Amino acid sequence: MSKLTLISFPTCPYVQRAVIALKEKGVPFDVVYIDLANKPDWFLALSPLGKVPVLKVERDGHEPAIVFESAVILEYLEDTITEKRLHPSDALERAQHRSWIEFGSQVLGDLWRLSAAKDQSELDGASQALAAKLRRLEDTIAGPFFAGTQFSLVDAVFAPAFRQLDALETVAVTGLTADLPKVAAWRKNLAARPSVKEAAPADFVDLYLRRLRNNDAHVLKAAA
Instruction: State the catalytic residues.
Output: 12
Distance from C-alpha of 84 to C-alpha of 217, rounded to nearest angstrom? 40
Q: Which residues contact 176 (CB under 8 A, 6 or more apart)?
A: 127, 130, 131, 134, 165
Distance from C-alpha of 150 to C-alpha of 179, rounded to nearest angstrom? 25
E strand or H helix at 68, and its extent? strand 65-68
Burial 136-173 (b: 16+ CB within 10 A, else e): ebeeebeebbbbeeebbbbbbbbbbbbbbbbbbeeebe
Q: Which residues contact 40 (CB under 8 A, 6 or more apart)?
A: 34
Distance from C-alpha of 55 to C-alpha of 21, rounded to nearest angstrom? 13
End-to-end CA distance of the chain: 51
Say how many residues make up the chain.
Answer: 224
